[in-house]
Amino acid sequence: MSTRHRRAELLIYLAPVTIFYIGFLILPYLMVLRLSLFRFSSMRLYVPEFTLANYAAVITDPFYLGLMARTVGLGLIVTLVSLLLGYPLALKIARAGPAMKSALIAITLSPLLINLVVRTYAWLVLLGDTGVVNTWLRGLGLIGAPLPLGGNLFSVVIGLVHICLPLMALSLIGVLERIDNALIDAADSLGASRGRILWRVILPLSLPGIGAGSLLTFSFAISAFVTPALLGGNRVSTIATLIYEKFTFSANWPVGATLVVVLLVINTAVVVLHGRLFKEG
Protein backbone atom coordinates (compact mmCIF):
# COMPACT_ATOMS: atom_id res chain seq x y z
CA MET A 1 0.00 0.00 0.00
CA SER A 2 2.85 2.36 0.75
CA THR A 3 4.24 1.89 -2.75
CA ARG A 4 0.86 2.61 -4.30
CA HIS A 5 0.50 5.64 -2.07
CA ARG A 6 3.87 6.99 -3.20
CA ARG A 7 2.98 6.40 -6.84
CA ALA A 8 -0.33 8.23 -6.38
CA GLU A 9 1.47 11.15 -4.75
CA LEU A 10 3.97 11.23 -7.61
CA LEU A 11 1.16 11.28 -10.18
CA ILE A 12 -0.51 14.14 -8.31
CA TYR A 13 2.73 16.12 -8.26
CA LEU A 14 3.37 15.50 -11.97
CA ALA A 15 -0.20 16.14 -13.10
CA PRO A 16 0.06 19.97 -13.41
CA VAL A 17 3.33 19.80 -15.35
CA THR A 18 2.00 17.01 -17.57
CA ILE A 19 -1.21 18.90 -18.32
CA PHE A 20 0.77 22.06 -19.05
CA TYR A 21 3.10 20.33 -21.52
CA ILE A 22 0.27 18.46 -23.22
CA GLY A 23 -1.95 21.54 -23.53
CA PHE A 24 0.68 24.15 -24.43
CA LEU A 25 3.39 22.14 -26.22
CA ILE A 26 2.31 18.76 -27.55
CA LEU A 27 -1.18 19.69 -28.76
CA PRO A 28 -0.02 22.86 -30.58
CA TYR A 29 2.71 20.89 -32.34
CA LEU A 30 0.19 18.21 -33.32
CA MET A 31 -2.05 20.93 -34.73
CA VAL A 32 0.86 22.35 -36.70
CA LEU A 33 1.75 18.86 -37.97
CA ARG A 34 -1.86 18.35 -39.04
CA LEU A 35 -1.88 21.71 -40.83
CA SER A 36 1.33 20.83 -42.68
CA LEU A 37 -0.47 17.87 -44.26
CA PHE A 38 -3.22 20.03 -45.75
CA ARG A 39 -3.35 21.49 -49.25
CA PHE A 40 -2.82 25.22 -49.78
CA SER A 41 -5.72 27.31 -51.06
CA SER A 42 -5.39 30.98 -51.97
CA MET A 43 -9.08 31.49 -51.20
CA ARG A 44 -9.41 29.51 -47.95
CA LEU A 45 -5.77 29.50 -46.67
CA TYR A 46 -5.86 25.71 -46.67
CA VAL A 47 -8.04 22.79 -47.69
CA PRO A 48 -8.23 19.87 -45.19
CA GLU A 49 -7.13 17.27 -47.72
CA PHE A 50 -4.23 14.97 -46.84
CA THR A 51 -1.13 15.56 -48.96
CA LEU A 52 2.64 15.21 -48.70
CA ALA A 53 3.23 17.77 -51.42
CA ASN A 54 4.35 20.40 -48.91
CA TYR A 55 7.12 18.17 -47.54
CA ALA A 56 8.09 17.08 -51.06
CA ALA A 57 8.43 20.71 -52.08
CA VAL A 58 10.48 21.68 -49.02
CA ILE A 59 12.98 18.80 -49.26
CA THR A 60 13.44 18.99 -53.05
CA ASP A 61 13.26 22.70 -53.85
CA PRO A 62 16.79 24.23 -54.03
CA PHE A 63 15.45 27.42 -52.43
CA TYR A 64 14.30 25.63 -49.28
CA LEU A 65 17.40 23.44 -49.18
CA GLY A 66 19.58 26.53 -49.41
CA LEU A 67 17.51 28.17 -46.69
CA MET A 68 18.02 25.20 -44.36
CA ALA A 69 21.74 25.11 -45.11
CA ARG A 70 21.99 28.86 -44.45
CA THR A 71 20.13 28.53 -41.16
CA VAL A 72 22.28 25.62 -39.97
CA GLY A 73 25.42 27.45 -41.09
CA LEU A 74 24.35 30.54 -39.15
CA GLY A 75 23.80 28.40 -36.06
CA LEU A 76 27.25 26.83 -36.40
CA ILE A 77 28.96 30.20 -36.82
CA VAL A 78 27.18 31.70 -33.81
CA THR A 79 27.98 28.62 -31.74
CA LEU A 80 31.67 28.69 -32.68
CA VAL A 81 32.07 32.42 -32.02
CA SER A 82 30.18 32.14 -28.72
CA LEU A 83 32.43 29.26 -27.68
CA LEU A 84 35.64 31.10 -28.61
CA LEU A 85 34.54 34.16 -26.64
CA GLY A 86 32.75 32.36 -23.82
CA TYR A 87 35.39 29.78 -22.91
CA PRO A 88 38.09 32.26 -21.80
CA LEU A 89 35.43 34.29 -19.99
CA ALA A 90 34.07 31.23 -18.18
CA LEU A 91 37.59 30.10 -17.31
CA LYS A 92 38.39 33.51 -15.85
CA ILE A 93 35.17 33.52 -13.82
CA ALA A 94 35.75 29.99 -12.54
CA ARG A 95 39.27 30.87 -11.36
CA ALA A 96 38.47 34.36 -9.99
CA GLY A 97 38.01 35.32 -6.36
CA PRO A 98 34.56 35.85 -4.84
CA ALA A 99 34.34 39.59 -5.50
CA MET A 100 35.71 39.43 -9.03
CA LYS A 101 33.54 36.38 -9.79
CA SER A 102 30.38 38.21 -8.73
CA ALA A 103 31.28 41.23 -10.85
CA LEU A 104 32.10 39.16 -13.93
CA ILE A 105 28.94 37.07 -13.61
CA ALA A 106 26.88 40.25 -13.32
CA ILE A 107 28.50 41.64 -16.47
CA THR A 108 28.01 38.34 -18.29
CA LEU A 109 24.33 38.14 -17.38
CA SER A 110 23.61 41.81 -18.06
CA PRO A 111 22.42 41.22 -21.67
CA LEU A 112 19.69 38.93 -20.31
CA LEU A 113 18.29 41.79 -18.25
CA ILE A 114 17.43 43.84 -21.34
CA ASN A 115 14.51 43.09 -23.62
CA LEU A 116 15.47 41.23 -26.81
CA VAL A 117 13.91 43.81 -29.11
CA VAL A 118 15.67 46.66 -27.29
CA ARG A 119 19.03 44.91 -27.61
CA THR A 120 18.45 44.31 -31.30
CA TYR A 121 17.54 47.94 -31.98
CA ALA A 122 20.63 49.00 -30.04
CA TRP A 123 22.76 47.07 -32.54
CA LEU A 124 20.87 48.76 -35.36
CA VAL A 125 21.92 52.11 -33.91
CA LEU A 126 25.51 50.95 -33.59
CA LEU A 127 25.96 49.18 -36.94
CA GLY A 128 23.83 51.24 -39.33
CA ASP A 129 25.28 53.25 -42.19
CA THR A 130 24.75 56.39 -40.09
CA GLY A 131 25.26 54.52 -36.83
CA VAL A 132 27.68 55.14 -34.04
CA VAL A 133 30.51 52.98 -35.39
CA ASN A 134 30.51 54.41 -38.92
CA THR A 135 30.08 57.95 -37.61
CA TRP A 136 33.11 57.61 -35.34
CA LEU A 137 35.24 56.01 -38.03
CA ARG A 138 34.39 58.74 -40.51
CA GLY A 139 34.98 61.40 -37.85
CA LEU A 140 38.46 59.96 -37.26
CA GLY A 141 39.13 59.99 -40.99
CA LEU A 142 39.66 56.22 -41.15
CA ILE A 143 36.97 55.63 -43.78
CA GLY A 144 35.50 57.71 -46.56
CA ALA A 145 32.26 55.80 -46.99
CA PRO A 146 30.17 53.85 -44.46
CA LEU A 147 31.24 50.26 -43.90
CA PRO A 148 28.55 47.64 -44.66
CA LEU A 149 28.14 46.61 -41.02
CA GLY A 150 24.36 46.35 -40.93
CA GLY A 151 21.72 44.48 -42.90
CA ASN A 152 23.90 41.45 -43.55
CA LEU A 153 25.14 38.18 -42.05
CA PHE A 154 27.81 39.97 -40.02
CA SER A 155 25.29 42.04 -38.07
CA VAL A 156 23.05 39.01 -37.49
CA VAL A 157 25.97 37.00 -36.10
CA ILE A 158 26.97 39.90 -33.83
CA GLY A 159 23.43 40.25 -32.51
CA LEU A 160 22.98 36.52 -31.90
CA VAL A 161 26.38 36.15 -30.22
CA HIS A 162 25.45 39.00 -27.88
CA ILE A 163 22.34 37.04 -26.90
CA CYS A 164 23.89 33.56 -26.78
CA LEU A 165 27.18 34.36 -25.06
CA PRO A 166 25.66 34.28 -21.53
CA LEU A 167 24.11 30.86 -22.29
CA MET A 168 27.47 29.50 -23.38
CA ALA A 169 29.37 31.03 -20.45
CA LEU A 170 26.92 29.82 -17.82
CA SER A 171 27.05 26.29 -19.21
CA LEU A 172 30.84 26.31 -18.95
CA ILE A 173 31.27 27.99 -15.56
CA GLY A 174 29.67 25.21 -13.55
CA VAL A 175 31.74 22.52 -15.26
CA LEU A 176 35.00 24.45 -14.94
CA GLU A 177 34.39 25.12 -11.25
CA ARG A 178 34.05 21.39 -10.59
CA ILE A 179 37.47 20.55 -12.04
CA ASP A 180 39.75 19.39 -9.24
CA ASN A 181 42.64 21.82 -8.82
CA ALA A 182 44.80 18.90 -7.72
CA LEU A 183 44.83 17.68 -11.31
CA ILE A 184 46.10 21.04 -12.52
CA ASP A 185 48.72 21.16 -9.77
CA ALA A 186 49.85 17.64 -10.65
CA ALA A 187 50.25 18.54 -14.32
CA ASP A 188 52.15 21.68 -13.35
CA SER A 189 54.47 19.73 -11.05
CA LEU A 190 55.26 17.36 -13.92
CA GLY A 191 56.46 20.29 -16.01
CA ALA A 192 53.45 20.87 -18.25
CA SER A 193 53.10 24.39 -19.64
CA ARG A 194 49.92 26.42 -19.21
CA GLY A 195 48.92 25.73 -22.77
CA ARG A 196 49.44 22.01 -22.35
CA ILE A 197 47.50 21.98 -19.09
CA LEU A 198 44.63 23.76 -20.82
CA TRP A 199 44.69 21.42 -23.81
CA ARG A 200 45.30 18.10 -22.06
CA VAL A 201 43.60 18.57 -18.68
CA ILE A 202 41.07 21.42 -18.53
CA LEU A 203 39.62 21.17 -22.04
CA PRO A 204 38.79 17.42 -21.93
CA LEU A 205 37.19 17.76 -18.49
CA SER A 206 35.07 20.69 -19.67
CA LEU A 207 33.61 18.88 -22.70
CA PRO A 208 30.19 18.36 -21.03
CA GLY A 209 29.90 22.12 -20.54
CA ILE A 210 30.99 22.76 -24.12
CA GLY A 211 28.36 20.31 -25.33
CA ALA A 212 25.57 21.80 -23.24
CA GLY A 213 26.47 25.39 -24.15
CA SER A 214 26.77 24.53 -27.84
CA LEU A 215 23.39 22.79 -27.78
CA LEU A 216 21.66 25.78 -26.19
CA THR A 217 23.39 28.28 -28.45
CA PHE A 218 22.81 26.39 -31.69
CA SER A 219 19.15 25.67 -30.93
CA PHE A 220 18.51 29.31 -30.05
CA ALA A 221 20.40 30.65 -33.07
CA ILE A 222 18.59 28.58 -35.71
CA SER A 223 15.20 29.32 -34.08
CA ALA A 224 15.75 33.06 -33.60
CA PHE A 225 13.40 35.38 -35.45
CA VAL A 226 13.67 38.94 -34.11
CA THR A 227 17.43 39.32 -34.53
CA PRO A 228 17.69 37.99 -38.13
CA ALA A 229 14.56 39.88 -39.14
CA LEU A 230 15.72 43.25 -37.80
CA LEU A 231 19.49 43.09 -38.20
CA GLY A 232 19.46 41.12 -41.44
CA GLY A 233 16.77 43.16 -43.10
CA ASN A 234 15.67 41.50 -46.32
CA ARG A 235 19.15 40.17 -47.07
CA VAL A 236 19.41 37.40 -44.45
CA SER A 237 16.60 34.88 -44.58
CA THR A 238 16.33 31.94 -42.17
CA ILE A 239 13.73 29.28 -41.54
CA ALA A 240 12.19 31.34 -38.75
CA THR A 241 11.86 34.50 -40.86
CA LEU A 242 10.36 32.53 -43.76
CA ILE A 243 7.86 30.91 -41.39
CA TYR A 244 6.72 34.39 -40.39
CA GLU A 245 6.43 35.39 -44.03
CA LYS A 246 4.39 32.30 -44.91
CA PHE A 247 1.93 32.86 -42.08
CA THR A 248 1.51 36.60 -42.71
CA PHE A 249 2.37 38.02 -46.14
CA SER A 250 2.11 34.88 -48.29
CA ALA A 251 -0.71 33.37 -46.20
CA ASN A 252 0.55 29.91 -47.15
CA TRP A 253 -0.15 28.25 -43.84
CA PRO A 254 0.50 24.62 -44.90
CA VAL A 255 4.04 25.40 -46.12
CA GLY A 256 4.64 27.58 -43.06
CA ALA A 257 3.56 24.70 -40.82
CA THR A 258 5.81 22.37 -42.80
CA LEU A 259 8.78 24.64 -42.12
CA VAL A 260 7.89 24.65 -38.42
CA VAL A 261 8.02 20.85 -38.41
CA VAL A 262 11.32 20.89 -40.33
CA LEU A 263 12.83 23.29 -37.79
CA LEU A 264 11.59 21.07 -34.95
CA VAL A 265 13.14 18.02 -36.62
CA ILE A 266 16.49 19.81 -36.97
CA ASN A 267 16.45 20.80 -33.31
CA THR A 268 15.45 17.29 -32.26
CA ALA A 269 18.24 15.78 -34.36
CA VAL A 270 20.77 18.09 -32.69
CA VAL A 271 19.50 17.11 -29.23
CA VAL A 272 19.74 13.41 -30.10
CA LEU A 273 23.24 13.88 -31.53
CA HIS A 274 24.29 15.73 -28.38
CA GLY A 275 22.93 12.90 -26.25
CA ARG A 276 24.83 10.30 -28.26
CA LEU A 277 28.10 12.22 -28.19
CA PHE A 278 27.94 12.92 -24.47
CA LYS A 279 26.35 9.60 -23.46
CA GLU A 280 23.12 11.20 -22.31
CA GLY A 281 20.72 9.47 -24.66
- What's the confidence (pLDDT) of residue 158? 95
Provide the pLDDT confidence category of residue 2 given band limits of 50, 70 and 90. low
* Higher per-residue pLDDT: 208 or 10: 208
The gap between the terminal CA atoms of the chain, to the nearest Å, is 34
Output b/e per residue, 169-201; b: 16+ Cβ within 10 A.
Answer: bbbbbebbeebeeeebeebeeeebeeeebbeeb
Mean pLDDT for the stretch of residues 262-271: 94
Give the pLDDT band of residue 14 (cuts 50, 70, 90): confident
Picking from 168, 134, 167, the residue whose alpha carbon sits closest to that of residue 149 is 134
Q: What is the pLDDT of residue 45?
A: 81
C-alpha closest to that of 157 among 65, 228, 98: 228
Mean pLDDT of 60-67: 94
Q: What is the pLDDT of residues 121-139, one digit of tens each?
A: 999 999 988 889 999 998 8
Longest dimension (CA), the chain: 83
Residue 264's CB is within 10 A of a number of other CB atoms, namely: 14
> Looking at the DSSP assignment, which residues form a beta bridge with residue 47?
39
Question: In the chain, what percentage of residues exceed pLDDT 70?
Answer: 99
pLDDT tens readout for residues 67-110:
999 999 999 999 999 999 999 999 999 988 889 999 999 999 88
- pLDDT tens digits, 18-37: 899 899 889 999 999 999 99
Q: Considering the chain, what is the average pLDDT of its residues? A: 90
Q: How far is CA 170 from CA 135, 195, 269, in A?
A: 35, 23, 23
Residue 233: pLDDT band (50, 70, 90) is: confident
Residue 281 pLDDT more than 50? no
Q: Among residues 61, 42, 32, 37, which one has the least CA distance to residue 251?
A: 42
| Full-model pTM | 0.90
Which pLDDT score is estimated for 15? 85
| 39/50 Cα distance (integer angstroms) | 7
pLDDT for 7 equals 78
Question: Which of 39-43, 186-190, 194-198, 254-258 reaches the highest mean pLDDT?
Answer: 254-258
Q: What's the CATH code, domain 66-180+206-277?
A: 1.10.3720.10
Average pLDDT over residues 152-170: 94
Distance between CA atoms of residues 108 and 96, nearest Å: 14
Strand 45-47 to 39-41 pairing: antiparallel
Query: What is the rounded distance in angstroms from the CA atom of residue 233 to the CA atom of residue 203?
Result: 38
CA–CA distance, 56 with 260 (Å, rounded to integer) = 15
pLDDT at position 191 is 86
Residue extents of the structural domains in the chain: 66-180+206-277
